């Protein structure tokens, strides 16, 4: 079977997180072929790959956003088509067949934005929402909002037997369009709740006027509802996210949970390195990007130093994904006089570092089910994590879990509590060892790669059969 994997801002151009999951999925399903449909901010090339593609990857189709696709000249729409398109742009409907209209009737962005239909839609929306701000600003907000949508719909998508999107948003939109164009099954896996993550970013964004933030938030929830409407299966990594998907608009009969899995055997056999018992060795396996909130981690390190604890914090992960943010983190380390305490080795083999860690940190403000936490637990390392996504479930277990805690959870952006728990680990090495063992047992029982691979293997074949088998 040829499966299209639709990713946004991820594989194969970004390492870690969802991208690692995609690589793992494809490597462990060699009986299938995979076509990567990668949505990126701009044009990318093979030299930009962060991964060696598995042999069963047949190609990578790059869809750059804001690439100013020209498209065809606008076609004429009848009144019903105009209403369908307007209702979709006003977030009133998701069931309308708008993908054909975007592709065949709107033309490219400039043609559509110069059309009478677009001008009329913006005017009516401005009045309907009872806006009082600048109409010109509102007009350009609409342009910015729908430019990626129109441009994505102008691309020719590869022919596949099944499409699998690993988020909603633009990836979910492309997958919905492919499902309708090719009459194929659509499976959606959300590692985090995409629309909730965009909502958090928008609320903090300075470039969006406060009186327009509600519409931007509504736009991304609208894209999620579209994906939920069209997907045959909606998968999350843990139960809490299924509940959030249902709140946004997913039908409960489509929902299921398939947890992540990791290479347990390899990591569980790492031998512990004997370190200086007077020094706490802390690890962080993380991308240095804002959503991981590295600055809170650094601030916690400062508090720990002020408390007189001897420690060293290794932040393992690439520094080139958001170079401006990475530079801000490095400067913060210098400003707080932590250069001998906080180290950035970059992208390294975690197996070389996990055996020497006494505790690991994750300070994200948003997460799905982080592979890094599972990897550390498999090696017997306890954790301090923020209570986001599945983190609490990983640390404390589900209701039917017989194992004890594998560390502690804290509220996001809470450096003091992180520092206090680090100090606790410093003074309680035996309890820390027990926490690490609890986590190791939990991963062995519930979170190994064969567990989740077999579930996707079965799901792919079930959906193929429902849609009539191979469609090549």
Rg (CA), the chain: 24
Backbone angles phi, psi at 173, to 5 degrees: -65, -45
* CA separation for the pair 307, 57 (Å, rounded): 52
| Distances 378 to 141, 183, 258, 286 between C-alpha atoms, Å | 47, 41, 19, 17
Give the global pTM: 0.81
Domains of the chain plus CATH, in order, are: 2-69+155-260+451-466 (3.40.50.2000), 79-144 (no CATH), 264-446 (3.40.50.2000)
Surface-to-core class of residue 444, CB atoms within 10 Å of its CB (0-12 exposed, 13-18 middle, 19+ buried): middle
| Distances 256 to 134, 176, 225, 253 between C-alpha atoms, Å | 44, 19, 17, 8
Q: Which pLDDT tens digits describe the chain residue by residue (472 residues)? A: 999 999 999 999 998 879 989 999 999 999 999 999 999 999 999 999 999 999 999 999 999 987 665 556 667 888 898 889 989 999 998 877 888 888 888 877 888 888 888 898 899 889 988 888 889 999 999 999 999 999 999 899 999 999 999 999 999 999 999 999 999 999 999 988 999 989 988 998 888 888 889 999 999 999 999 999 999 999 999 988 999 999 999 999 999 999 989 889 999 999 877 666 789 999 999 999 998 999 999 999 999 999 999 999 999 998 998 999 999 999 999 999 999 999 999 989 999 999 999 999 999 998 888 889 999 999 999 999 999 989 999 999 988 899 999 999 999 999 999 999 999 999 999 999 999 999 999 999 999 999 999 999 999 999 988 876 554 4
* CA separation for the pair 166, 236 (Å, rounded): 10
């Amino acid at each position: 079977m040829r499966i299209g994997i639709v990713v946004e801002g991820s594989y194969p151009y970004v390492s870690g997180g969802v991208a690692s999951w995609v690589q793992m999925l494809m490597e462990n399903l060699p009986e299938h072929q995979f076509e990567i449909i990668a949505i990126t901010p701009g044009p990318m090339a093979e030299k930009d790959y962060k991964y060696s593609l598995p042999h069963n990857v047949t190609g990578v189709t790059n869809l750059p956003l804001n690439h100013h696709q020209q498209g065809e000249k606008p076609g004429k729409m009848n009144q019903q088509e105009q209403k369908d398109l307007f209702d979709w742009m006003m977030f009133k409907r998701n069931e309308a067949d708008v993908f054909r209209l975007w592709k065949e009737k709107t033309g490219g962005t400039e043609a559509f934005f110069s059309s009478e239909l677009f001008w009329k839609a913006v005017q009516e929306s401005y009045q309907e929402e009872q806006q009082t701000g600048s109409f010109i600003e509102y007009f350009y907000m609409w342009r910015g909002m729908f430019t990626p949508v129109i441009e994505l719909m102008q691309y020719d998508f590869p022919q596949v037997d099944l499409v699998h999107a690993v988020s909603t948003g633009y990836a979910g939109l492309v997958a919905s369009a492919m499902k309708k164009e090719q009459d194929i099954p659509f499976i959606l896996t959300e590692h985090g709740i995409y629309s909730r993550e965009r909502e958090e970013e928008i609320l903090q964004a300075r470039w969006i006027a406060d009186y327009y933030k509600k519409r931007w938030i509504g736009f991304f929830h609208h894209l999620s509802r579209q994906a939920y409407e069209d997907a045959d299966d909606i998968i999350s990594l843990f139960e809490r996210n299924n509940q959030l998907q249902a709140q946004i608009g997913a039908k409960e009969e489509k929902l299921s949970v398939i947890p992540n899995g990791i290479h347990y055997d390899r990591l569980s056999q790492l031998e512990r390195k004997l370190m200086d018992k007077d020094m706490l060795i802390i690890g962080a396996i993380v991308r240095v990007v804002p959503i991981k909130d590295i600055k809170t981690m650094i601030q916690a390190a400062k508090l720990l130093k002020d408390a007189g604890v001897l420690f060293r914090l290794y932040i393992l992960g690439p520094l080139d994904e958001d170079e401006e943010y990475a530079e801000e983190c490095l400067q913060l380390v210098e400003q707080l006089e932590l250069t001998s305490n906080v180290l950035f080795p970059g992208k390294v083999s975690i197996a070389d570092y996990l055996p020497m860690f006494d505790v690991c940190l994750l300070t994200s403000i948003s997460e799905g089910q982080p592979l890094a936490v599972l990897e550390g637990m498999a090696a017997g390392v306890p954790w301090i994590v923020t209570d986001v996504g599945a983190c609490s479930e990983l640390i404390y277990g589900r209701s039917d879990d017989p194992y004890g805690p594998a560390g502690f959870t804290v509220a996001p952006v809470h450096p003091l509590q992180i520092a206090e728990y680090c100090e606790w680990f410093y003074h309680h090495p035996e309890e820390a060892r027990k926490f690490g063992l609890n986590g190791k047992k939990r991963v062995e029982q519930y979170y190994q790669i064969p567990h989740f691979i077999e579930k996707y293997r079965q799901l792919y074949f079930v959906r193929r059969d429902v849609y009539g088998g191979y469609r090549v």
